[in-house]
Amino acid sequence: MHQVSLLRLYMLRTVYLIIAVGLGLVIWPGVIHHTQPWGLMQGFVNCMLAAFGLLCALGIRYPLQMLPVLLWELSWKVLWLVVVALPAWQAGPLDQAMLENLIEIAVVVIIPIAMPWGYVFNKYLKQPGDRWVGA
Q: What does each C-alpha distance from 20 to 38, 59, 126 come to in angstroms?
A: 22, 9, 30
Asked if 114 and 11 touch (Cβ cutoff 8 Å), the reply is yes
Q: What Cα–Cα distance (Å) separates residue 127 from each residue in 2, 27, 65, 121, 134?
A: 11, 37, 15, 8, 19
Q: Return the pLDDT at 12.
A: 97
* Confidence (pLDDT) at 1: 55
- Dihedral (C-alpha) 64, 68, 71, 77: value to the nearest 10 degrees? -130
pLDDT along the chain (135 residues), means of 10: 88 96 92 87 90 96 97 94 93 91 89 96 92 85
- Model pTM greater than 0.85? yes
Burial category of 68 from C-beta neighbours within 10 Å (exposed 0-12, middle 13-18, buried 19 and up) = middle
